[in-house]
Amino acid sequence: MSENKEIITTELSELGEFGLINKLTKDLKLINKQSIKGVGDDAAVLNYNSEQIVVTTDLLLEGVHFNLAYTPLMHLGYKAVTVNISDIAAMNAKPRQILVSFAVSNRFGLEAIEELYKGIHIACKDYGVDLVGGDTSSSVKGLFISITAIGGVEKENVVYRSGANVKDILCVTGDLGSAYMGLQLLERENKIYKSDPLIQPDLSGYDYLLQRQLRPQARVDIINYFKENGIVPTSMIDISDGLSSEAIHLSINSDKGCRIFEDKIPIADQTIELANEFGLEPLICALNGGEDYELLFSVKPSDFQKIKSNPDITAIGYFTEKEEGMNLEVSNGKIIPLNSQGWNAFLNP
Amino acid sequence: MSENKEIITTELSELGEFGLINKLTKDLKLINKQSIKGVGDDAAVLNYNSEQIVVTTDLLLEGVHFNLAYTPLMHLGYKAVTVNISDIAAMNAKPRQILVSFAVSNRFGLEAIEELYKGIHIACKDYGVDLVGGDTSSSVKGLFISITAIGGVEKENVVYRSGANVKDILCVTGDLGSAYMGLQLLERENKIYKSDPLIQPDLSGYDYLLQRQLRPQARVDIINYFKENGIVPTSMIDISDGLSSEAIHLSINSDKGCRIFEDKIPIADQTIELANEFGLEPLICALNGGEDYELLFSVKPSDFQKIKSNPDITAIGYFTEKEEGMNLEVSNGKIIPLNSQGWNAFLNP
């Protein structure tokens, strides 16, 4: 499982920074008309004359955000882009450009960085974004990745976390908790492998969970769907820290309360199955698992008709007056506050 | 000299990510009309309706780009912003926004991060930019800073590295080599301090060199001067790796040759004095020292009248046909190729 770890046949120091950048970006073609000038000057030049620009940045650090023992570098590159594109989508914007910076120790050779960039390039193609800049450096230890993503959206269509109104329907895309269970599976198998390298990891039957953890998709498709169907959500956020945390963000930023129904939360069969095997509550995985990169958003009740036929969108609750608090209604009708300490303890054992 | 190193009275884990971000950004006021929404959503929202946008990003890593034994965290924060603003200035653009990401090990407490941000906030004020986003993380080891800067410039005024023509005058702002000598001084005194902590560092008389190394200024003032005087350089780059390397960049990108005159290169008296003390050639420090963050640019001969009265700008040479190569004419009239191996060996001993 640790085949990525030391594949050095070409030392980065042989190439130098400019040789490396040239190697990694020489086949780049700019695809967005807003990308005027990409890699190769002091800064990239962009043109967004009729739109608002949205811009976001995220760090990924080895040993904190990923473990190279079970994360293929190509998937890591793809995921690093996804995490940022997901933030652009959460503003209801179309992603257009990224800047990629990384620092690596001398443990990594050219081939490792090329694997990372292979994933980055595939993600650029999938999301239709241009790689227009970045920075490279050596590090004392480990791999650091910092990506900035830029997107555009018509002024009137920007969606903040703060626009939810009472009675707006709270919706979520895809299903929740699966990326978290994928991580649990990878960590279990990695522990077994470390204790006895002759035991091959048993990951069969859980392809979906692994894909959700290793190669998540940003929901740009949903943003396109909104546009095609004339829907502008009243509030939106992407789910990186779990449903509970993100619903609290929307509620606090919108100065509202919310109610979520346990039995409406979409959880995949594989997630339920593996959670049971691990002795975990699937609901807790969905509420606090994180890394789903699905979108959590609210729409006006009058817009709900337009989206309820989309099989990728599930209504899970609604916004209330602030005084009613942020609550989960579980199957037996009991109401549990969303910011319950129980969930936090689970997250930070 | 190592007073920054372990000042922890408030653990970052007590605050949590949102508490920390809130603490570091609560007094932020957006000052640019292009900054629509800053910290606090999935992405920042910017509006640049009548301009091109330029965007750049730079990494700074402890142990690679800075040594906290002699770098006050406040200065480090200021410098991390400067490095990026300098790239925006090198496109002839006005800096407007930055996104700041950092990762820290548990060696750093809130007070250390607040010092870092104090420098970042002062830089934002000095350069007139808004801090509109970023990311924070823990790191396994060391401090890691990644900044993205965004600026704007009228379409017709963007200056690339590639626009120099034969006979264009090559100019540089300020003086060169001083930041490099500041670094030599700090490293010498740090070595002495490490060998005997009772010996106090002797940095007296070299304030200018220290300031150039620890708190360099991006030449936004020169960009404003260009604008006020109706000058658009034909090519421009900021000097981060030394005059020699940057002149080569402009020449190659413009597909031209260049000639630089040794006796025209501006070098400060303190630089010459300390270089002599260290047994270094001041010229070599200016050519390859790096971290000057001055601007190297070319103007049409007809524009030269407009700038030659500016005491902060020095003409140091001119562009030639490509076939003539990239050369330095030293005092005795001898011609030395700029990409001489001698310089590289100096940089990478």
- CA-atom Rg of chain A in angstroms: 21
**Residues forming a β-bridge with A296:** A172, A237
Beta strands B130-138; B94-104: pairing state: parallel
CA-nearest residue of chain A to B65?
A137
Greater model confidence, B106 or A276: A276
* Intrachain domains B12-157 and B169-347 with the same fold: no
Q: Are A32 and A45 in contact (CB under 8 A)?
A: no
B169-347: CATH architecture: Alpha-Beta Complex (3.90)
Are the C-beta atoms of B337 and B347 separated by less than 8 Å?
no
Q: Which residues, at least 6 apart from A19, have a Cβ–Cβ distance to it below 8 Å?
A: none
Cβ atoms < 10 Å from Cβ of A18: 12
CB A175 within 8 A of CB A211: no
Q: What is the pLDDT of residues A28-65, one digit of tens each?
A: 788 888 888 888 788 888 888 888 999 999 999 999 99
Residue pLDDT, tens place only, A124-158: 999 999 999 999 888 888 999 999 999 999 989 99
Is B250 a residue whose pLDDT tops 50?
yes
Return residues 109-138 of B near A (CB < 8 Å): 132-138
Closest CA–CA distance from residue B172 to any residue of chain A (Å):
16
Q: Which of A200-209, A224-233, B119-128 shows the lowest mean pLDDT across its residues? A: A200-209
pLDDT of residue A35: 87
Residues of B in contact with A139 (CB under 8 A): 61, 64, 144
Closest by alpha carbon to A338, among A296, A293, A310, A295?
A: A296
Q: Which 8-state DSSP code applies to residue B334? A: -
Measured CA to CA, the distance from residue B76 to residue B346 in angstroms comes to 26
Q: Can you give the residue ranges of every domain in chain A?
A: 12-157, 169-347
The order of strands in the sheet holding A235-238 is A235-238, A295-299, A169-173, A313-320, A257-261, A326-329, A335-337
Of B42, B142, B236, the CB nearest to A90: B42
Lowest mean pLDDT among B36-45, B67-76, B248-257, B317-326: B36-45
Q: In sequence order, which residues have a C-beta less than 8 Å from that of residue B269 and are 6 or more positions away? A: none
Contacts of A160 in chain B (CB under 8 A): 37, 41
Picking from B13, B42, B252 by the largest number of A CB atoms within 10 A of its own CB, the best residue to mutate is B42
Q: What is the DSSP letter of A201?
A: P
Written as six digits, the tokens of B2 are 């190592």
| Sign of torsion over alpha carbons A68, A69, A71, A73 | positive
pLDDT at B48: 85
B residues 36..55 contacting A (CB < 8 A): 36-37, 40-50, 52-55
Q: In the predicted model, is pLDDT for residue B83 greater than 70? A: yes
Q: What is the mean pLDDT of residues B227-254?
A: 95
User: Is residue A213 predicted with pLDDT exceeding 90?
Assistant: yes
Return mean pLDDT, chain B. 89
Which letter does DSSP use for residue A14 in this model? H
A259-300 per-position pLDDT tens digit? 999 999 999 999 999 999 999 999 999 999 889 999 999 999
Whether B161 has a pLDDT exceeding 70, the answer reads yes
pLDDT at position A8, please? 57
Looking at residue B1, its pLDDT comes to: 46
Between residues 68 and 87 of chain B, which touch chain A (CB distance below 8 Å)? 86-87
Q: Residue A309 gets which letter from DSSP?
A: T
CATH number for B12-157 (one of 3.30.70.141, 3.30.1330.10, 1.10.1060.10, 3.20.20.80): it is 3.30.1330.10
Say if strands A144-153 and A257-261 run parallel, antiparallel, or are unpaired.
Answer: unpaired
User: Average pLDDT in the A220-239 region?
Assistant: 96
What pLDDT sits at residue B225? Answer: 96
d(CA A86, CA A67) in angstroms, rounded, equals 21
pLDDT in tens, A289-341: 889 999 999 999 999 999 989 999 999 999 999 999 999 999 888 999 996 43
Disruptive mutation site among A146, A153, A156, A248 for chain B (greatest number of B CBs within 10 Å): A146
Q: Are A210 and A72 in contact (CB under 8 A)?
A: no
More confident residue, A198 or A52: A52
**Residue B45 carries which DSSP code?**
E
What pLDDT, in 10s, does the model give residues B14-41? 777 777 777 777 777 888 888 888 887 8
Residue among B232, B97, B39, B267 nearest B154 (CA): B232
Residue A246 touches chain B, beta carbons under 8 Å:
no
CB interface of A with B, residues 253-282, below 8 Å = 253
Q: Is the pLDDT of residue B303 over 70?
A: yes
Following DSSP, what letter does each residue of A21-48 receive, concatenated? HHHHHTT----STTEEE-SSSSSEEEE-
Residue appearing with tokens 């653009």: B93
- This prediction's pTM: 0.91
What is the pLDDT at residue B273? 95
Q: Which of B44, B158, B160 lies closest to A54 in CB terms?
A: B44
CB-based contact A59:A146 (threshold 8 Å): yes
pLDDT band at A9 (very low <50, low <70, confident <90, very high): low
Q: For residue A155, how many other CB atoms are within 10 A of its CB?
A: 12
Report CB contact under 8 Å: B101, A44.
no
